[in-house]
Every structure is written in structure tokens, then in C-alpha cells.
Amino acid sequence: MSVTDLLVVVGRYGPAVFFSAVALFYTARIIALRRRLGHSPVAFGRPGTEHHRLSMTFRVFRALIWLVAMARAIWPPVDFLLLPLPGLYTPGVMAGGNLLMVLAFSRVGRLNLQMGRAWRSGIARPAEGAALLTGAPFAHGRHPMLAAVMAGQLGLFLAIPSLFTAICLVLGIGTLLRQAELEEADLARRHGERWTAYAAVTRKWPWSGRLRGVSRRAHA
């Protein structure tokens, strides 16, 4: 098998294998934490709230992306229904996208395990504790997990370069940016001055410029 053939195989089957592995990881992680905590670590928010809308949007797109990845692995012409972008639709770019997804999820998985019992999906319920984690890797950025997920979404776009994944990328990043704002507002309410002091010396994103402290929206 030539290198080109190998890249084609990775481009075709990579996303299906990747998203199936991600689903298995999170399923096992949620089950394990539920047993340890006595309740689910997943919080979708109350129906009608913005938190709930963001959670459902992300959940729906995650399921849709998995279905698309599986469908194109079984029947490659599915790619043309996604409106591929000719300039990027090459074996090298698509294999590179798969590699970026793997690297991003490796980061997500490592962060997840480092957080231990403190890991949550979504914003913790009011009655639950929400620890303010300030040690590494949170000492270098306030949202390392969300930043890694964004990198993975960019990887998805490159792994299946199309109008469909471009829309997923824009909506996904927009959802994560707003999720970060909601999480910061929640942490500000819970931790007050501790949060203010932490945010004042810790950049929001790895790519952020000079520190600006807590955004006004975080105190709304």
C-alpha cells in the first residue's frame, strides 16, 4: 500500500473510528463518575435557559457528526452530499485533520483525568459544588478543555473539508465561546473575589493577548 493509499484510508475511516472512540470514552467516564459521586456529572441546565439550549445544540451536532462520519465510512459518496471544498479535499489535508483531532482529544482526555472528581459536562447545578481549579493546566488558561475542543473542531473541518463541517466549525466555536462566558459568570457568583483574583492573572484562552481581567459579562 502506497502512502497516498494509506492517507485515503485514514481520510475515509478516521473520523468514524475517532468519534466512536470519543463516545466510548465519555460513556465510560460518566458511568464511573456517577458511581463515585452518586449523581451524574452531566448537567444540561433547566429547559428554557440558555445553558440548556447550548447543551442541546452541542449534543445534536455531536450526534449528527457521528452519523455522518459512520455513513461516509460505509458509503464514500456521502462526502459529495456534504458539499466538499475542492481546494482542501485532498488525502494529505484530510489525514492531517484526523491527526489534529487525535492530538486535541489526547489533550481533552488528559485534562479530564487530571480534573478527577471535579470534572463536569456543563455548568454544575446550584446545589452541587463547583471547584475553582487554579493549578496547572488552569494556571496557563482559564478554559484549556474548551480550547482543546475547538482545536478538535478545526481538525474535523480539515478531516472532512466541506460546507457541512464549515458550518459545524462556526456554530461549534460560537457555542463554546458562549459556554465559556456562562461558566465564568457561574464561577464569579460562586467564588467571588477568589475568581476575580484568578481571572486577573490568568488569560482566558491560550491565544489571548495581554490580560484584561474578568470580562464585564462574567459579572452580569
26-84 pLDDT, tens per residue?
A: 999 999 999 998 888 888 888 889 989 999 988 999 999 999 999 999 999 999 999 99
Is the per-residue pLDDT at 214 higher than 80?
no
70-126 pLDDT, tens per residue?
A: 999 999 999 999 999 999 999 999 999 999 999 999 999 999 988 888 888 888 776
pLDDT of residue 126: 67
User: Taking all residues of the chain, what is their mean pLDDT, rounded to a whole number?
Assistant: 88
Q: Look at phi and psi of residue 160 and say left if phi exceeds 0, alpha if psi is from -120 to 50, else beta.
A: beta
Report residue 116 as a C-alpha cell: 478527577
DSSP 95-152: HHHHHHHHHHHHHHHHHHHHHGGG--BSSPPTTS------STTTTS-S-HHHHHHHHH
DSSP 47-101: TTSHHHHHHHHHHHHHHHHHHHHHHHHH-TTHHHHT-B-TTT-SHHHHHHHHHHH
Could you tell me the pLDDT band of residue 18, with boundaries at 50, 70 and 90?
A: very high
Q: Rg of the Cα trace of the chain?
A: 19
pLDDT of residue 164: 96
Higher pLDDT, 71 or 209: 71
168-185 pLDDT, tens per residue?
A: 999 999 999 999 999 999
Is the per-residue pLDDT at 162 higher than 50?
yes
Determine the structural domain holding residue 154 and report its residue range: 3-219
Backbone angles phi, psi at 23, to 5 degrees: -60, -40
CATH number of domain containing 117: 1.20.120
Q: How far apart are CA 60 and CA 65, in angstroms?
A: 9
Claim: this prediction has a pTM higher than 0.85 = yes
What total of structural domains would you count in the chain?
A: 1
pLDDT of residue 121: 84
Q: In this predicted structure, which of 37-46, 60-69, 187-196, 209-218 has the lowest mean pLDDT? A: 209-218
Higher pLDDT, 135 or 88: 88
**Percent of residues in the chain assigned helix, strand, coil, to nearest 5:** 70, 0, 30
Give the residue-averaged pLDDT of 197-218: 70
Query: Using CA of residue 64, residue 70, residue 74, residue 77, what is the dihedral sign?
Result: positive
Report residue 196 as a C-alpha cell: 476575580
pLDDT of residue 217: 38
State the maximum Cα–Cα separation within the chain, in Å, rounded to a whole number.
Answer: 60
Is the per-residue pLDDT at 213 higher than 80?
no
Which residues contact residue 123 at a Cβ distance below 8 angstroms, ignoring those fewer than 6 apart?
43, 45, 51, 130, 182, 183, 186
pLDDT of residue 161: 97
pLDDT of residue 206: 85
Is the per-residue pLDDT at 127 higher than 90?
no
